[in-house]
A and B are shown apart, each in its own frame.
Chain A
Amino acid sequence: MKQVLNFSIPFVVGPANNGLSFDDSSLAPIGYEDLCKLPTGTVYNVKNYGAKGDGIVDDTPAVKQALAAIKASNATGILYFPTGTYNLCPQLPQDATPWGDVVFNLAGFPMKVVFIGDGPSKTILKGFMPGLKDPKTTWKTLTTDGSEPSIERFIMFQAITSPNTPAGGFQIRSMTVDGQAGYTGNFLSGGDSTTGDGWDWFHKGVRIDGSSQVDDVLIFNSQIINFRGEIVYSGGTAAKFVGLFLSKTDSSNASCISCSTDMLIHSSDVGQDVGVYNGTENFCITAQQKMVCINSRFSGKAQGLVYIGVDGASCLIDNCDITNSGRGILFSETAHNVTVRNSRFLNNTAQAMIDSVLGLYPQGTGFSNFLIENNTFIKTGYSYLCQGYGGGYDWPGFTLRNNTVTSGALIGGSFLGTFTNFNIDGNILGDKAISTGDWAGNVALWTNNVRLPGSFIGNHEKFDEFSPTPTAIFAPISDLTFLNDNRSSPIQNAEIDSTKLHYYPVGFTTKFKIGKTNWVLKANPAWNNFSADVPVTNTTTIRFNANKLFELV
């Protein structure tokens, strides 16, 4: 028997662009229009799927339905959040991952997904855990019955890929993403399990990682705030590119931005002076990646910026403000092809810039090709400090040029390795500025044999020899070299390493001050022209002569 059935299905046709009338692409900085352009794709208005955006109800199920529609379409989708406050929360158990509970899990999205609002002051995506507001609140009080809450904290956007399953990348545009946890200044790694205070690994704004690539991730004209873990984290080489434009991040008990990827930060404020740990850190240790920071501001209780870059990677800091940090920029372990220009360093308590080798990463291959020019350093300690541990490290290519220092020192530290193309030129020492400090490298004092204007007349380079060996190698680096204690008797020979003579400009002179009286400058044609050993007294003076040897004065 033939059967006939009537059907009727509700169907909605939304307006063009589904109500999205605000194309924020017009805000893109000049020269970055293509990178910041809103992708072409179908607009999915979350309100068409039942989201309220009233800041009261949980909008997660409705928003997830809209996101599922993007996935089903298998094409670029624009998830539009009209003006409003959207409470969002991971849905358990399906949103639980080994890396935390996740609101938007984008690992299974091969297409690009754009999250867009009407502007950071109009559209707010808020973590739906009001108890997190108070850092002193215990987790148990987050539920009315006193039991442990099912969700303690969350990742708002996450893409952790599996082998052979790349993700299409995503954008966060014109909205505020609020993690609902206030900054407390507790950087304890892992956090306090009772109060939730501290650096919380499972409370991040954006997390990218995995074994397959995640295409470009762009944060544009947005705020991401109030997370106790990283605001943006990208591990390994998963992310193809992370961009931060016209955006603000703060309130993290960890570092605001922590990546190992090609990264561009433009016209943004990272840290906002609240005292986050590091403003931005980029670890380019597994690939030749690039870090570029332009027209932006950085601050961090430890460092405003941290950069690690293997040879072939590069770092450009241009027209930025690095303020109110412990150190402005830490070049840790290895860094090459670094340019810092047209930037302002203000009120960084330790140094504006420092290089340091702590042995944290075996990929480290030293430092080279630094250009630091046209910057202003105000109340920021040393503009550049070389940590130069142990025997130091080679420094091919270092230029410190046309910078202005006020209330600080131009350069310091221990340039103990071999350096070539070392240029310190055209710098201006303003009020209360010196070229180098007491604990000074030998290089900064001199340019073409002439002491730099305003350079510090060092008290002494103190040298203590506590070993029982009869010969001590010392390196005079200032006008007065202090040979202090020693344990070898009756004679302690003092020698200069002949392989380091190229450090000294002709005319370099140092007097001696001694602690114990058994120091002797050994006659050694490798570094001096003494006719016999010279017992050191408080009037002994030596000078580097035209024959590139030290002589008695």
Chain B
Amino acid sequence: MKQTLTFTVSFTVDPFLAFAPAVLPHAVVGVEYPATSIGTVTGGAGPYVFNATVLPNGMTLSTDGLLSGTPTSEGSTDIAGTITDSGTP
């Protein structure tokens, strides 16, 4: 016998995670760099976690995306890393 079952499943489509980087003021060797947001995250599910893989010497990036510290060497570089949202696996 053909049977028909009605079901309801809860399903959420998170918006695509996006990042708009800030234009960061230049830092100066030996001068404390005030905590500065490196950009704005949209989409996905907040909160977001920043994880830096490349940073200038002497500087740190907090998990909420604030760059700070006192650089110890001059030069041009990229600040690189990942941003992870809070969506369930």
A5 in the interface (beta carbon within 8 A): yes
B27 contacts A4, CB within 8 Å? no
Segment 48-89 of B: residues with Cβ below 8 Å from A:
54, 56, 71, 73-89
| Inter-subunit contact A3/B16 (CB<8 Å) | yes
Task: Flag if A2 contacts B87 (CB, 8 Å).
Answer: yes
Cα(A417)–Cα(B28), bound, Å: 66
Residues of A within 8 A of B76 (CB): 10-13
Question: For residues 4 through 34 of chain B, which have their beta carbon under 8 Å from a beta carbon of chain A?
Answer: 14, 16-19, 21-22, 24-31, 34
Chain B residues whose CB sits within 8 angstroms of the CB of A43 once the complex forms: 28, 31
In the complex, the answer to whether A2 meets B26 with C-beta atoms within 8 Å is no
Tell me how far the C-beta of B80 lies from the nearest C-beta in chain A, rounded to whole angstroms. Answer: 4
Q: Which of A7, A17, A18 contacts B26 (CB under 8 A)? A: A18
Once A11-B56, A72-B25 are accepted as A-B contacts, the answer to whether A2 and B88 lie under 8 Å apart by CB is yes
| B25 (CB) vs chain A CBs: closest residue | A69
Contacts of A42 in B (CB 8 A): 28, 31
Q: Tell me, in angstroms, the Cα distance from A520 to B44 when the chains sit together.
A: 110
Contact between A8 and B26, CB atoms less than 8 A apart: no
Residues of chain A within 8 A of B39, CB atoms compared: 7, 9
The docked-state distance in angstroms from the alpha carbon of A65 to that of B60 is: 25
How many residues in A have their beta carbons less than 8 Å from beta carbons of B? Answer: 28
Name the CB-closest residue of B to A49. B26
Distance in Å: Cβ of A186 to nearest Cβ of chain B: 45
Q: Are B73 and A13 in contact (CB under 8 A)?
A: yes
Residue of A1, A69, A73 touching B88 (CB-CB under 8 A): A1
Tell yes or no: A109 within 8 A of B by CB: no
Q: How far is the CA of A477 from the CA of B17 in the complex (A)?
A: 96
Bound Cα distance A44, B27 (Å): 9
Is the CB–CB distance between B24 and A73 below 8 Å?
A: no
**Would you call A17 and B17 a contact (CB within 8 A)?**
no
Q: Which A-chain residue is minimally distant from B55 (CB atoms)? A: A11
A14's contact among B16, B26, B82, B89, by CB below 8 Å, is which?
A: B26
Known: A3-B87, A11-B76. A48 touches B81 (CB 8 A): no
Q: Is A16 an interface residue (CB 8 A)?
A: yes
Report the interface size for chain B: residues with CB under 8 A from the other chain.
41
Question: Is the CB–CB distance between A7 and B56 below 8 Å?
Answer: no
Residues of B near A48 (CB, < 8 A) are 26
- Do A15 and B83 touch across chains, with their CB atoms under 8 A apart? no
- Identify the closest chain B residue to A73 (Cβ): B34
Q: Across the interface, which residues of A come within 8 angstroms of B56, CB to CB?
A: 11, 13
With the chains together, A63 CA to B89 CA distance in Å?
A: 47
> Which of A1, A10, A45 interacts with B89 by CB under 8 Å?
A1
Contact of A13 among B28, B82, B87 (CB under 8 A): B28
Which residue from chain B places its CB closest to the CB of A6 in the assembled complex? Answer: B82
Q: Which residues of A contact B54 (CB under 8 A)?
A: 8
B81 to A, closest residue via Cβ: A7
Judge whether B29 and A9 touch: CB under 8 Å. no
The interface centre, meaning the residue of B16, B34, B41 with most chain A CB atoms within 10 A of its CB, is B34
Could you give, for residues 227-247 of chain A, a 1 whenever the CB lies within 8 Å of some chain B CB and a 0 otherwise? 000000000000000000000
B25 and A8 form a contact (CB under 8 A) = no
Interface residues of A in 1-45 (CB under 8 A from B): 1-18, 42-45
- Complex Cα spacing A13 to B87, Å: 35
> Are B84 and A3 closer than 8 Å at their CB atoms?
yes
Asked if A5 and B27 sit within 8 Å, CB to CB, the answer is no
CA distance A536 to B53 in the complex (A): 110
Contact across chains for B30 and A16 when beta carbons are under 8 A apart: yes
Residues of A close to B85: CB separation below 8 A = 2-4
Q: Which residues of B are found within 8 Å of A73, using beta-carbon distances? A: 25, 34
| Set B16, B29, B79: member contacting A16, Cβ < 8 A | B29
Complex CA–CA separation, A17 to B78 (angstroms):
21
Q: A2-B89, A3-B14, A7-B80 in contact; A14/B29 too (CB < 8 A)?
A: yes
When the two chains form their complex, are residues A3 and B29 in contact, meaning their CB atoms are under 8 A apart? Answer: no
B89 to chain A, nearest CB (A): 5
- List 20 A–B pairs whose Cβ atoms lie within 8 Å, in order of A's numbering: A2-B88, A3-B43, A4-B82, A5-B82, A5-B83, A7-B21, A7-B38, A7-B79, A8-B80, A9-B78, A9-B80, A11-B76, A13-B27, A15-B28, A16-B31, A16-B74, A42-B28, A43-B31, A44-B26, A49-B26
- Residues of A whose CB lies within 8 Å of any CB of B are 1-18, 42-45, 48-49, 69, 72-73, 75
A-binding residues in B (CB < 8 A): 14, 16-19, 21-22, 24-31, 34, 38-39, 41, 43-44, 54, 56, 71, 73-89
Seed contacts A16-B30, A18-B28; 16 additional CB < 8 Å A-B pairs: A3-B85, A5-B19, A5-B82, A6-B83, A8-B80, A9-B21, A9-B24, A9-B39, A12-B26, A13-B26, A13-B56, A13-B74, A15-B28, A16-B28, A16-B29, A43-B28
